Amino acid sequence: MTSITRYSLVLPAVSFIALAPINALSETVALSVDDDQVSVWNRFVDSLVGLHEKGIAGREIRTSELTGGYGGEFAKGFTYREVSYHDAKSGQLLSRIRHEQNKPEKLQVIDVYIYDATGRVIRDYTAMYLPRGRHAPVRTFINLHQYSEKLHGFRQFDASGNRLYEQCRGQFAGHVVDLDLEDYQIKPGITATNDYQMCFGKLPDTAEKYLIPN
């Protein structure tokens, strides 16, 4: 599936976030987050860790692990341990956490998924640190999902509430819908179309109520 500068990834029919390309990100992103974002984004991470803990509490959990390292000069030498947490009964991926392999207190990436009663992802969250320059996450994502007939769309925000991206795939009224929209492309000429409304019309315009995930 897909995500952004944004990261694209294939997961069990759920996620639009990828954990792997930190090495690529490391080569292109500055080591610091704007000072105005630091406290907000760190608070987002703390809340996301709490949401992960809440999500696995009281459930029978199946975990899987992998380890690896990064390419590129910036992240060379950094290795990680990644743990995925699945609900043992449904098989749903609840969360996934990547730490520096020999320093488990150093979080690198966290993903958390929220499902509706039918088993569809309705929200997912991500925070991502670079291996170096760890005073705040370098990327944060809040994805809000909508399902309409044979369409699946999601609207993406960061932890400051900025809308980043929208995507929709599927079929509607006998034709294929395939929308990929960066924030600057979301204009009245597009938002007024039937396709756009079927994909995104029921989603909130802001992520205000989801900025503190827990």
Q: pLDDT tens for residues 127-150?
A: 999 887 778 999 999 999 999 989
Estimate to the nearest angstrom the gap between the alpha carbon of 158 and the chain centroid: 9
Residue 1 has pLDDT above 70, yes or no: no
Residue 2 has pLDDT above 60, yes or no: no
Whether 134 and 74 have beta carbons less than 8 Å apart is answered as no
Domain edges within the chain: 22-210
Q: What is the pLDDT of residues 9-35, one digit of tens each?
A: 223 333 334 444 555 555 445 444 477
Whether 53 and 41 have beta carbons less than 8 Å apart is answered as no
Please provide the size of the chain in residues.
214
The whole-number average pLDDT for the span 32-50 is 87
Q: Which two tokens stand for residue 76?
A: 């060379």
Distance in angstroms (rounded) separating the CA atoms of residues 32 and 30: 6
Residue 92 has pLDDT above 50, yes or no: yes
Q: What is the pLDDT of residues 163-195, one digit of tens each?
A: 999 999 999 999 999 999 999 999 998 999 999
Question: Residue 103 — pLDDT band, cuts 50, 70, 90?
Answer: confident
Estimate to the nearest angstrom the gap between the alpha carbon of 96 and the chain centroid: 11
Structure confidence at residue 12 (pLDDT): 32
Structure confidence at residue 81 (pLDDT): 95
Whether 112 and 48 have beta carbons less than 8 Å apart is answered as yes
Structure confidence at residue 76 (pLDDT): 82
